[in-house]
Structure 1
Amino acid sequence: MGDYHAVIGDLQAVHHAFDNSQQTEKAPSAALNGIDTTKEDDFPRWYQQILLKGEMIDYYDVSGCYVLRPGSWEIWEIMQEWFNKEIKKMGVRNCSFPMFVTEEVLRKEQSHIEGFSAEVAWVTQSGTSTLEKKIAIRPTSETIIYPYLANWIRSYRELPLRLNQWNSVVRWEFKNPQPFLRSREFYWQEGHTAHLTSEGAEKEVHQILDLYCQIYRDFLAIPVVPGRKTDKEKFAGAEYTTTVEAYIPATGRAIQGATSHGLGQNFSKMFNISVEDPKLDGTGDSSQRLFLWQNSWAYSTRVIGVMAMVHGDNKGLVVPPRVAPIQVVIVPVGITAQVPEERTDIHEYIKTMQETLESDGIRVEADLREEHTPGWKFNHWELKGIPLRLEVGPRELNESCISTSRRDTREKGRIELARLSVDVRAVLETIQASMYVRALEQYRNNVKVITKWEQFTAALDRKHLCLIPFCTREDCEERIRRLSERTADPSMRNDARAPSMGAKSLCIPFQQPSELQGTNTKCLAEGCELMAEKWCLFGRSY
């Protein structure tokens, strides 16, 4: 087995605002922050606790549905604002379609609905009356939107048509629900576009996928592998699906981060979305029409769950600065009851700091509550994952400086008041970059090139993802899943955080480590005699 480095590009140099010799704080016990387990001992319980006690979610009385509190919704808004700007540069316009769809329309594209049939929620009653025809709550919106595209698009001169909506969808999952990962209602954006040519449509598929890569890399500090899904794993009704795949080190499992689908002409032929051939230019037979090439693409609030799982620790959430609703918290320390003037002076000092930072676009909170001790406040804000804590006491007041504490590494430091905004911004950028570096190192260390079948399941059991030579046939993919369900090493403890489920294909990475054509390299699947066509990433997955 060898490390696979080609899937991620070289990391840019990281600017360090702190000296490497700084000391690290000792982590308090779990009892101090209300988390009664650890990431290592009980990952599912730890995950739910950091979200609940970090005030990202609350439970709801409908199983599988969750309340998204401001702590998570504001992260979603930050990403939404950026993504909106980027897609609008491409000519995408936002709109909104109803959440209900008739059974007749939903079933019009049969191969598409078969991919969702087990998860569709139906409305069958209004008040005390049974509906004559049941109505579905959208699991996705292709069949809702596309009849309207057929009416709206009259000429090739109107193309491409690019629409996007921000909404929730319902998929009535019966598997174990998990906040953000598997919920019965979740929020996303879904783009739907129509193009005159397949080349124009394909270009957009990759443009959107690049934006999804940026969301993970530049905002969430998480490396992803972009690639193409196998035919077995592609979106129902699509010609092909591209994806970005993330990795959760604590469980050794992959997770699909976002997808951009090339739908081909499958839906346009079903819904008669067509235009006159521009070659005729109004002079030929108007009955000769071209069916359009379509795309759909989406990322969802799942990204917040991925962020929490990758970066969180036993003290709670760790939120990357670029998506943190509160980037900096200021806490007064060392105030004694004997000298009330100190309290007033320190609070005024803090308010001035807050105004300075806010005027420079830094999201900051000053915690001046008197009913809690500084230690309680430290734990409270660490649980929420606030990237940077500033501490101000009598010493800082006298020396015109501020003490700092990074949430990601717990490193202590000091900055001068005169350089407050400049140094705080530099520290936040350092935290952002450092979080990505750590996640990237974990990813690289756990993606392995496997060329012998006997190594495959053993690598899975050690929480690795496996890049293998693969023939891309569906029957081989199913064989790999079935054969990898068994534990390769019976002496290994069955890990409840990454049970010995079978491996599935994650993607065929766009960046291939080597060319397989003409190498006489066989497919890794046991018993397959076909030559491998592509390197394919396999792993246990959420």
Structure 2
Amino acid sequence: MSKSLPSRAENYSEWYNELVKRADLAENSAVRGCMIIKPYGYSIWEKMQRALDDMFKETGHVNAYFPLLIPKSFLSKEASHVEGFAKECAVVTHYRLKNDPNGHGVIVDPDAKLEEELIIRPTSETVIWSTYKNWVQSYRDLPILMNQWANVMRWEMRTRLFLRTAEFLWQEGHTAHATKEEAVEETEQMLNIYSEFAETFMAMPVIKGRKTANERFAGAEDTYCIEAMMQDGKALQAGTSHFLGQNFAKAFDVKFLNKANQQEFVWGTSWGVSTRLMGALIMAHSDDQGLVLPPKLAPIQVVIVPIYKGEEQLNNIKSKIDPLVSALKKGGISVKFDISENQSPGFKFAEYELKGVPIRLAIGNRDIENGTIELARRDTRVKTSLPFDGIEQVIVDTLEDIQISIYQKALDFRAANTFEVNTWDEFLVKIEEGGFLSAHWDGSPETEEKIKELTKATIRCIPLDSQEEAGKCILTGNPSKQRVIFARAY
């Protein structure tokens, strides 16, 4: 706690890494590329999970669980899918260990080789669609609206806590429908749920859009996404929703008898968000003093730190604070009354600021005499002495205001760092400054790849709310029908 965090302005990457560790969110594990999510970090993820799960269930989805291990042959059935994930797959080849006859611990038993290798799931489309074949015979069996909360493994070489790890936690929805229209509607509905969650709970503004063919999910006909801007001007893909068409139904022969008594293939979707949202939450709002958490996701929304000398003063403070704590908890507010004696009030102030607790209350013997209490907001770091009477409603109102203010600050930042560019020279200058660049693109994958090669900028999305606008591609000068969003990204 004695050493201050690195500055965002001086070294954004180091600031992020240090903040994740010092705020007790996560740490690196003994397994290369994998992380340990610590209790404080996991409690934030639990709040995300709970909110999203409620939103899924409100729209008719149910949870299930499918195997971690997928037969290798399953991944071979959908060509573009296997090509998209082949380089990231971890493969199980044996099922037993034995003692090393040379006395060097244990070794893989060469006689325990699997007849068919198993893949640790990078995503679950294949194993789920192989199951749907057994579940679907008639239009009466549709739709299937399924979600699972799980872990996945993608063998990443360059990792960063929460943002990119070999193993991560996520939810993956997999739905099956009788018509294309229903499947497209589902894809768009889930994108809207992700957008609502990001903005309402994470206080993080996002742009809803479609991915280009180059950036599309492997095996999908269309991929929708939400893109957020981090404080260093880079983009972060915060969620995706995929229209799978009939690709996986055809790969796994999932057919149904329609109302006309004819056989046809099922239409599918998949959609997901992951613990990458934790990285987005940190980078969208936090400052050089530590985390800034939106109240709706903060594990502790209010912390109360007493300042006292001796047991008599503490008991005096407790008689005042205990009823407030009970009232706040009854109102659904998570509150901590920190009466631990092993740390000074100043140390506690710094610790709770680092951990992003939205409201800190401090009260001492003089405050009791004056009928006041000090309230400090984490987002603005402003401290105010307020009357104790009525403080419960002030806390409720302040938490609501912090949630709104954090969102507005992020929205203003995005607006100030989004630029229309119309020439290649202008693009080259602005991309170095960071932010979102709204520019014309001729629609060709070759041009998209060339821009990425020259600038490390990718097309983040084709915004859903963008209007047709005739123009010229910034690189080739070829005709363009609309602007897309370019940025460098995580």
| TM norm structure 2 | 0.94
Question: Within 5 Å, which residues of 2 pair with 1:109-128?
Answer: 109-126=78-95, 127=97, 128=109
Q: Which of 480, 487, 490 is the aligned partner of 1:539?
A: 487
Any idea what SS the aligned residue of 2:480 has? coil
Root-mean-square deviation (CA, aligned residues, Å) is 1.4
Question: Within 5 Å, which residues of 2 pair with 1:34-49?
Answer: 34-49=3-18
Report the equivalent of 1:380. 351
Q: 1:124 and 1:233 mapped to 2: Cα distance?
A: 31
Report the equivalent of 1:523. 473
Instruction: For residues 55-98 of structure 1, give each alpha carbon's deviation from its aligned partner in whole angstroms, at most 9, with x where no partner exists.
Output: 11122101111111121211122122222222212221100001
Report the equivalent of 1:161. 144
Instruction: For residues 329-388 of structure 1, give each alpha carbon's deviation from its aligned partner in whole angstroms, at most 9, with x where no partner exists.
Output: 00012x235xx4212211332222211211111000111011211100001111111111
Matched, 1:294 2:268: yes
Report the equivalent of 2:203. 221
Report the equivalent of 2:44. 75
% same residue = 38
| Letter of the 1:154 counterpart | Q
Instruction: For residues 103-134 of structure 1, give each alpha carbon's deviation from its aligned partner in whole angstroms, at most 9, with x where no partner exists.
Output: 11122112101111111011122212333322
Report the equivalent of 1:349. 320
Q: Which of 357, 365, 383 is the aligned partner of 2:336?
A: 365
Q: 2:320 and 2:24 mapped to 1: Cα distance?
A: 29
Any idea what SS the aligned residue of 1:179 has? coil
Report the equivalent of 2:58. 89
Report the equivalent of 1:508. 462
Q: 2:5 and 2:211 mapped to 1: Cα distance?
A: 39
Distance apart, 1:36 and its partner CA: 4.5
Distance apart, 1:158 and its partner CA: 2.0
Report the equivalent of 1:184. 166
Instruction: For residues 288-312 of structure 1, give each alpha carbon's deviation from its aligned partner in whole angstroms, at most 9, with x where no partner exists.
Output: 4111110000011111111111211
Matched, 1:399 2:370: yes
Instruction: For residues 4-55 of structure 1, give each alpha carbon's deviation from its aligned partner in whole angstroms, at most 9, with x where no partner exists.
Output: xxxxxxxxxxxxxxxxxxxxxxxxxxxx553452111122221111111101
Report the equivalent of 2:103. none
Report the equivalent of 1:277. 258
Q: Which of 300, 304, 307 is the aligned partner of 1:326?
A: 300
Report the equivalent of 2:22. 53
Q: 2:440 and 2:51 mapped to 1: Cα distance?
A: 38
Q: 1:528 and 1:130 mapped to 2: Cα distance?
A: 57
Q: 1:423 and 1:212 mapped to 2: Cα distance?
A: 31
Report the equivalent of 1:5. none
Matched, 1:138 2:92: no
Q: 2:264 and 2:58 mapped to 1: Cα distance?
A: 27
Report the equivalent of 2:106. none
Q: Which of 460, 465, 481 is the aligned partner of 2:452?
A: 481
* Between 76-85 and 236-245, the greater mean CA deviation after superposition: 76-85
**Which runs of 5 or more structure 1 residues have no equivalent in the other structure?**
1-31, 281-287, 485-501
Q: 1:190 and 1:267 mapped to 2: Cα distance?
A: 15
Any idea what SS the aligned residue of 1:232 has? helix
Q: 2:319 and 2:143 mapped to 1: Cα distance?
A: 56
Q: 2:196 and 2:384 mapped to 1: Cα distance?
A: 30
Q: 1:197 and 1:475 mapped to 2: Cα distance?
A: 33
Q: 1:428 and 1:467 mapped to 2: Cα distance?
A: 35
| Letter of the 1:66 counterpart | M
Q: 1:377 and 1:271 mapped to 2: Cα distance?
A: 57
Q: Which of 281, 286, 291 is the aligned partner of 1:312?
A: 286
Instruction: For residues 206-230 of structure 1, give each alpha carbon's deviation from its aligned partner in whole angstroms, at most 9, with x where no partner exists.
Output: 1111111112111111111000000
| TM norm structure 1 | 0.86
Report the equivalent of 2:104. none
Q: Contact 2:135 / 2:141 at 8 angstroms: preserved in 1?
A: no
| Letter of the 2:125 counterpart | E
Q: How many residue pairs end up in the alignment?
A: 476
Q: Which of 251, 257, 279 is the aligned partner of 2:238?
A: 257
Instruction: For residues 477-516 of structure 1, give each alpha carbon's deviation from its aligned partner in whole angstroms, at most 9, with x where no partner exists.
Output: 01211232xxxxxxxxxxxxxxxxx11110000111x422
Q: 1:153 and 1:415 mapped to 2: Cα distance?
A: 63
Q: 1:58 and 1:242 mapped to 2: Cα distance?
A: 32
Matched, 1:62 2:35: no
| Letter of the 2:468 counterpart | E
Report the equivalent of 1:488. none
Runs of 4+ in 1 over 4 A off after TM superposition: none
Instruction: For residues 236-285 of structure 1, give each alpha carbon's deviation from its aligned partner in whole angstroms, at most 9, with x where no partner exists.
Output: 000000000011122x21111100000001111111111113123xxxxx
Q: 1:185 and 1:436 mapped to 2: Cα distance?
A: 30
Q: Contact 1:274 / 1:289 at 8 angstroms: preserved in 2?
A: yes
Q: 2:234 and 2:85 mapped to 1: Cα distance?
A: 23
Report the equivalent of 2:418. 447
Q: 1:58 and 1:400 mapped to 2: Cα distance?
A: 43
Report the equivalent of 2:192. 210
Q: Contact 2:229 / 2:435 at 8 angstroms: preserved in 1?
A: no
Question: Within 5 Å, which residues of 2 pair with 1:411-426?
Answer: 411-426=382-397
Distance apart, 1:168 and its partner CA: 0.4
* Between 165-174 and 32-41, the greater mean CA deviation after superposition: 32-41
